[in-house]
Structure 1
Amino acid sequence: MNLEDFSKLYPAAPAGLRNLSAAMKKAQLDLTLTILIKIPASQMNSCAFCTQFHLSMARKLGVAQAKLDLIAVWRDARLFSAHEQASLAWTERLIALPTST
């Protein structure tokens, strides 16, 4: 899926995602860490476009391929720092929160 198709399916998403990225940048969060947490968040949300986009960004930022290969099993991979592990666990908790209907 490309950005145009994604935007048609989820018209409010691009602006929301830009706002989230701006807030992360303003908070001066580490760019590599933010991209690492966006990958599993995208996977958990079943967004192929976002997953592909964030993986491409991670490669451009120089994230080790081994980390990208094993991010789905980060708990067992032993490649991730304590800070990265905490961030990945936090991301999983946030994504798994029940939504109100």
Structure 2
Amino acid sequence: MAMAEDQAVFEGRPDASVAGIRDGSSHPELRLAGVAGPYALLLSATAYTAVKETSGRGYPVLSHLARLPGGGQTIWAPGIEGGAVVSLRGGDFSLSLRRVGGRWVT
């Protein structure tokens, strides 16, 4: 259930008229849009495993990511494709659903 929710929120559900965060975001470059952070880096299962098991210059890549500006975190998100950076400050997204004729719509 949680994976289906992640997929609906990030990738959308065109069959249910739900736009995902990726397609619905008007600010693909958060810092340039004035969103200073903190951020979270969401990674698919494959990407997260690759980052966790790889080292750069003898230091785990996951530890390098933790030191990036914005004070964020790296989160395993198996329901998404690839990765996404989202704001953690709150108030940047809203999700409104209602049921119409047995279907959930935004």
TM-score normalised to structure 1 length: 0.29
- Which structure shows the higher strand fraction? 2
- Which structure shows the higher helix fraction? 1
Question: Which protein has greater RCO, CA pairs closer than 8 Å, 6+ apart?
Answer: 2
Q: Which protein is bigger by CA-based radius of gyration?
A: 2
TM-score normalised to structure 2 length: 0.28
